[in-house]
């Protein structure tokens, strides 16, 4: 049963880049452009609620790099960015955090934040 749930959850997040402590600098901090990073965990109910929204951002905006970082398996990056509650979504431009959202929210909020970055 747990394997089925894990497979379903993993499939939900296949569009977003899987981030780790090892690849975060290369994939996010060194990236020239806009990135959206979702800090999440498998057991987190609210994370499952915004997961499809984050994936949709990746599908809609080719110019935005979208990634997900599992805080249980990658604690160093979560600690470095002061992630104390999940889900936390960071919005970065050229490797610098320019906006942050903690918790769930309507889809429109996430899309508005991305649109604002694209137009800045």
- Rounded to an integer, what distance in angstroms lies between the CA atom of residue 92 and that of residue 46? 22
Q: Known catalytic residue: 44?
A: yes
Query: Which strands form 64-70's sheet, in the order they lie side by side?
Result: 17-19, 64-70, 34-40, 88-93, 96-102
Of these residues, 19, 37, 44, 89, which one is catalytic? 44
Q: Known catalytic residue: 47?
A: yes
Please, are residues 36 and 66 in contact by the beta-carbon 8 Å criterion? yes
Of these residues, 17, 34, 47, 117, which one is catalytic? 47
Packing angle, helices 45-60 and 107-118, rounded to 10: 40
Any idea which residues carry the catalytic annotation?
Answer: 44, 47
């Amino acid at each position: 049963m747990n394997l089925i749930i894990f497979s379903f959850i993993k499939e939900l997040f296949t569009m977003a880049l899987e981030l780790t402590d090892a690849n975060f600098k290369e994939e996010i901090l060194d990236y020239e452009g806009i990135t959206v990073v979702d800090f999440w965990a498998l057991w987190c109910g609210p994370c499952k609620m915004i997961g499809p929204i984050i994936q949709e951002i990746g599908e809609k905006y080719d110019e935005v790099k979208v990634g997900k970082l599992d805080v249980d398996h990658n604690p160093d990056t979560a600690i470095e960015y002061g992630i104390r509650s999940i889900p936390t979504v960071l919005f970065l431009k050229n490797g610098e955090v320019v906006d942050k959202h903690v918790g769930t929210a309507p889809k429109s909020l996430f899309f508005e934040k991305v649109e604002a970055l694209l137009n800045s």
